[in-house]
Amino acid sequence: MIIVILLLAAGVLCGRLLGDGAYAVAGEATQYILYALLALVGFELGGRSGIFAQVKNRWRHAVAVPLAAALGSVAGGVLAGLLLGMELWQSAAVSAGYGWYSLSSLILAEIDAPLGAMAFLSNVLREVIAIVSIPLLTKKLSPWAGIAAGGATAMDVTLPLVTRSAGVEYSPFAFLSGAALSALVPVTLTIIFSIAGVQ
């Protein structure tokens, strides 16, 4: 975990020193590195017999983890909204991105631009916190906590981290959880808007 924090801090420092020019280069490099990591995770999954049978045998976990992550995210957002004096539908909607900042921020920006910006920052921060905390959560609590912390990013960005921290046998569960949460983003937002009477 210390290595993850130090690398993140080093990245922030380099970004500050190199300026805006480094952002485009880093963004493109990150994309290809992520593709390579996902390919390696897939390679490891393919080489382990019986892993997909575990998913079938533990299907309750595959369903419970994303549902718990979704409920926890929205509940946490509502609580934060109460403390900050926000309208409940707004805080619930901001937290319903589940870490998928690009989609949730775009949907919310069509209704309220500042709310879209808040959703973007909130979900980016969630991803950063997940990257730092997944090794600790996996070790101190359980692999399921690490998967839930990744939210929608458990299917891509944080999948290699979950695999390294929890073991390759948890990779299918992480992927399924991230995919389920990604699919739930527009559904949850539509429900929130419907309840709040927002169009």
Structure tokens that stand for 137 in this block = 């959560």
Q: If pLDDT is split at 50, 70 and 90, which confidence band does 45 have?
A: low
pTM above 0.85, yes or no: no
pLDDT digits (tens, 9 = 90+) for 56-98: 777 788 888 899 999 999 999 899 989 988 888 888 888 888 8
Angle at which helices 113-140 and 101-111 pack, to 10 degrees? 150
Closest residue by Cα to residue 127 from 97, 107, 105, 172: 97
Task: Quote the mean pLDDT of the chain.
Answer: 79
DSSP H or E run through 198: none
Structure tokens that stand for 61 in this block = 């976990």
Q: Are 71 and 95 in contact (CB under 8 A)?
A: no
Residue 47 is predicted with a pLDDT of 57
